[in-house]
Structure formats: structure tokens, C-alpha cells
Amino acid sequence: MSIFTHPIISQTRRHERATATVFEDPLSKALLERIKQIAPSDANALIIGETGTGKELVARQIHDLSHRAHGPFIAVNCGALTESLAESELFGHEKGAFTGAISQRIGWFEAAHNGTLFLDEIGDLSLPMQVKLLRILQEREIIRVGSLKPIPINVRIIAATNVDLEKAVIEGKFREDLFYRLYVALLRIPRLADRREDILPLAKYFVERYQTNPHDTPLRISALAAKKLIQHRWPGNIRELENTMHHAVLVSRNGVIEPEDINFSNLVTGNIKSSGFPQSQPHSSTDLNMEIHNLQDAEQLLQATFKQLFDASKQLPDLNINELIEERFIRSAYEHCQYNQVHTAKLLGVTRNVIRTRLLKYGLI
């Protein structure tokens, strides 16, 4: 089977979601600036984000903006690797190296030579394979299964995960030395619910893609349908939005997508427990939508917010409330101050150095 038609590797023809480049929301614009900073180097990169947020899209953006843009981009799903064949898939094998090896085969590292190798769901890679990956990052060479000859490779590694790798390191499930090798350039992708100005541009993009008859009048999203899209909390992120708009295109009538054409799944996703990224909780209309006229009103709003958070934490034993509150607090203040560090520091009553340290930690600068 050809290396480029392997089911674990992204096909040459990109999935529609993988080409949906939208950076309209301020958080997305900040992410794009981060991508532009990282892309020109050959540094390994680690992308962190929930399932469906577009981690491969970001990896492709980094590749396309780098000097490797004319080289191959190979995407590998580490979660789909079987323990018995992982080494052969990654590094290739010689003819007769094992039963069934009827011919020589190059691996994904060789296929990505002079380009970029995107290792999706790196957290699912077994410990033995982590050791081998670490050696390759150090030595910049691979050895095919059944061979003793090292082969130099020139590959940039971009890894992605939807799990808390730091926690995995503490639990002994992920090697600390490999973690720091990948942690050189960090990008955190916000949830779609946190970048609402991207929702309608993405929705319109998917409508155009799935309206297959070029002679039809372009479908329009009604104002009420747009409001419904913006108000949804999108636990499935861009993947959920894509499927929602695909369905809306199929069932719409008279050239307009109406609210009744937009169906949301009642499925409670496993993103919270599996990824370590808490989902947005629906606000209480009586508690959290109150207007603030004085300090007492502000205190009541904070009390109501914390109560919901503390109640939710009972079902999320791995949730670090203190870190969550601090990060969202800094992010929100930074956005409110139009991404000005000095103004953010003044608003929060701290030094600019404190703000800069936190922004670096969160991957915002």
C-alpha cells in the first residue's frame, strides 16, 4: 500500500475542515500571530486543544508559512498505530525484516523528508515508541526495521494532543524528556465557544462547500438561524459546526437556512474528562445575567459564578479550579484591553512583567 494512501495518514486531498482557515475572532487573530512567529523556524511545536478545534489546520498553517512549504506535509494519527507495526510504519522496513515484509518500504519519517511530520494525538503513543521518537529528535536519523544503516532525515515535528501531557508526565504515561523536546514552541487553540466571531464565517464557509450545485442561488443564513448558531456552546467545536451546517444545507428550502434547519446533538461529549479542557457551562438567566450597578452587585455576580463552578467541579475531580480561574481571568482582561500588556497590568493592579509571564505561559505571546 502506498505511503500516501495509508488510512492512518491524511489524504493528499484535504478534508473540508482542514482547509477552513478563519481567523476573525480576537483570540484567533492572536493565535495567527503566534503561528507567524513560530512558522519560520525549524523548532518542534506542540499544539494543545480540544478535539475538533482544528489542530491539523494550525499545523498546516505553520507548514505553509515555513521554508518547508514546498516539501511534504504528512499527518499521522498516533492513536491509530498498533504496537506491533508502529515501528515499521514510522521508520519503514527492509524486505524480509519480518513475516509479511515482501518488499522494502519507507516509513513516514522518510516520506516527510525536507518537510513536516504532524503527529496527531501524540499522547496515545506507547512508552517504547516514545523512546524511539526521542532518539530520532536527538540524532536526526532513522533506522529501518531489519537494517543497521542509519538514514539522515530533515523533518520538522509538529505534535498535537487533546490530553493534559503535563499530567501524563506526572503519572508516568509520557516521558518527561520527550515532553520538553516537543514543548519548544507551544500553541493553545481556544475552543470554538471562546472565539464566537469565528462561528458565522465558518458556518458560511461550510454552507458554500456543501452546496454542491454551482447553478443554485447561494444559500443564505437567516438572522434567527445565525443567532442560534452564535448562542450554541459547541462542545464538538469546528467538527460539530461542520456537520451541523452540512445537515442544514441538505434540509433547507427556498434558499434560506432557518433555525429549524439547525439541529444540535444532545450527546454529552467526553472532551471534559479526556482532554482536561473544561467546557463552557450554560449561564443561569437569574444568576449570571444580572446588571452590575455597584460593588455589591459585582460581589453577587462573582458568588453566583463561583457557585456554578464549584458545583461543576464535583463531577470533574481532575479540574484545577485555581488555575482555571487565573487563566480565564488573565485572558479576559487581556482581550478587554485590546491585547495591550500595559493596560492589562494597570487594570489588574499588577506589573507588566507579571502579565507577560502569564501570557507566555498561556501561549498568547
Give me the pLDDT at residue 20, please: 61
SS3 state of residue 9: strand
Q: Using alpha carbons, select from 77, 58, 94, 67 the residue that is nearest to residue 7.
A: 77
Supply the pLDDT for residue 318.
Answer: 64
Confidence at residue 316, expressed as pLDDT on a 0 to 100 scale: 62
Predicted pLDDT of residue 149: 87
**Residue 293 confidence (pLDDT):** 60
SS3 159: strand
pLDDT at 356: 87
Distance in angstroms (rounded) separating the CA atoms of residues 109 and 141: 9
- AA letter at 156: R
Confidence at residue 17, expressed as pLDDT on a 0 to 100 scale: 46
Judging by DSSP bridges, how do beta strands 105-106 and 92-93 pair with one another?
A: antiparallel
Q: Look at the pTM and tell me if it is higher than 0.85.
A: no
Which pLDDT value is given to residue 322?
A: 80
pLDDT tens sequence for the chain (365 residues): 233 333 344 433 444 444 567 888 888 999 999 999 999 999 999 999 999 999 999 999 999 999 999 999 999 998 887 776 788 888 887 887 777 777 878 888 999 999 999 999 999 888 988 998 999 999 999 888 888 888 999 999 999 999 888 888 998 999 999 999 998 899 999 999 999 999 999 999 999 999 987 767 889 999 999 999 998 989 999 999 999 999 999 999 889 999 999 998 766 444 433 344 444 444 333 344 455 566 666 777 777 777 777 776 666 666 677 877 888 888 888 878 878 888 888 888 888 888 888 888 877 77
